[in-house]
Structure 1
Amino acid sequence: MTDIELDITDLRTVAAYAAASAEKALIIFERACPSDPRPGEAIAAARAFADGGKRVAALRDTAWAALKAAQGAGDPAACEAARAAMSAPSAAFLHPLARSTQVRHILGAAAHAARAAELAAGDDLAAGDAFVEAAACEATPAVIDILCRYPPAPRGGGRTGELLRLLDMKLRGKRREGGAT
């Protein structure tokens, strides 16, 4: 099932957005785990790809390493920040499949970063909502166009899934309002 038009420029656009989103939460991880470079390396790999690098196994390797960092973080906010970093290079592997689950490749980094912000603020949901609002403002028309090729975000995923769906709805709404073409 390959019915979504997608090219390397689209993948680079999505990876750049994901890296920028994840980078905003990286400090949360670094405060908790200052000697662990893996999430930062994952974000750097995503940026390198977005800037014209090749889509190679190293992207996946850094994503897996950031996931392992998340699993060993010992702090829920740091865990979510590392998951945001994991999602950045994963964005390069967005598939041209008309499945709602692919939205996670586009918006997953922002959703995990928003959850990290909430947890770092004492589980203050307003912090996550504010992060989502900022992420919606930072999404380029190209990101919104790519997102709108896919079905809406899937159900599930706990609070991070809620944030993912909130961001998805905001971006689709921007397009309907004429904020993106």
Structure 2
Amino acid sequence: MPPTSDEIELSEHELRAITGYAAEGARRVLPLFEEPHPADPRPRDAVEAAEAFAGGGRRTNVLRQCAWAAYRAAQEAASPAAVDAARAASAAAAAAYLHPKASAHQVKHILGAAAHAARAEELACGQEQRVTAETLEWARLHAPAAVTTVLGRLPAAPPGGGRVGELLRDLDAALRG
């Protein structure tokens, strides 16, 4: 059956590649959460659950629970950098729940972990623009073909979202360019 006008094609391979990419970006900033919160495993658990799915594991409710747990860890974090590091982990696990819908919101599922990771690194280094640019460039260079292919089926990233939304749109534009 062909997709309806608001649906896009999305293969399991693409979903796993996107989730693996999100997990890789989130893993880069785990220390920004774990240093001030060494006893809180929730963001690491979310990244590891995303990696397990990307590596061929099943998409179970445990993955969703890990995403929500990392989100709650972000709400309890002690510093702004730790907040965004935990949100990156949450977004990595949530990437496995990308929907085959032609919606700009779905771009957040693909690039949210990278955008939050960039913001975490930006905050950790005192808002230095060079670091932010390097982080976004890393995210652009490490994006697998599945990321750019699926982004090409979606509208551009939506407006709003503060600084993370701005970083998301910058990365989206760079990957589409």
TM-score of Structure 1 vs Structure 2, range by shorter chain:
over 0.9
**Which residue does the alignment assign to 1:57?**
61
Compute the displacement of 1:140 (Å). Answer: 1.6
* 1:168 equivalent in alignment to 2:172: yes
Compute the displacement of 1:146 (Å). Answer: 1.3
Q: Deviations over 1:140-160 (max 9, x none)?
A: 222211111111100000000
**Which residue does the alignment assign to 1:98?**
102
Whole-Å separation in 1 of the counterparts to 2:131 and 2:164: 13
Compute the displacement of 1:2 (Å). Answer: 4.5
Q: How does 1:69-84 map to 2 (within 5 A)?
A: 69-84=73-88
Whole-Å separation in 2 of the counterparts to 1:130 and 1:113: 12
Unaligned ranges ≥5, structure 1? 174-181
Identity %: 54
**TM-score, normalised via structure 2 length:** 0.95
Q: Deviations over 1:55-104 (max 9, x none)?
A: 11111100000011101012100000000000011000000111100000
**Which residue does the alignment assign to 2:133?**
129
**Which residue does the alignment assign to 2:160?**
156
* 1:38 equivalent in alignment to 2:38: no
Whole-Å separation in 1 of the counterparts to 2:170 and 2:71: 24
* 1:22 equivalent in alignment to 2:26: yes
Contact 1:86 1:109 in 2 (8 A): yes
Match for 1:73: what amino acid?
A: A
Unaligned ranges ≥5, structure 2? none
Whole-Å separation in 2 of the counterparts to 1:34 and 1:125: 28
* 1:118 equivalent in alignment to 2:122: yes
Question: Which aligned runs of 4 or more in structure 1 are off by greater than 4 angstroms?
Answer: none
Whole-Å separation in 1 of the counterparts to 2:68 and 2:56: 22
Number of aligned pairs? 173
Match for 2:85: what amino acid?
A: A
Q: CA RMSD in A?
A: 1.0
Whole-Å separation in 2 of the counterparts to 1:129 and 1:34: 28
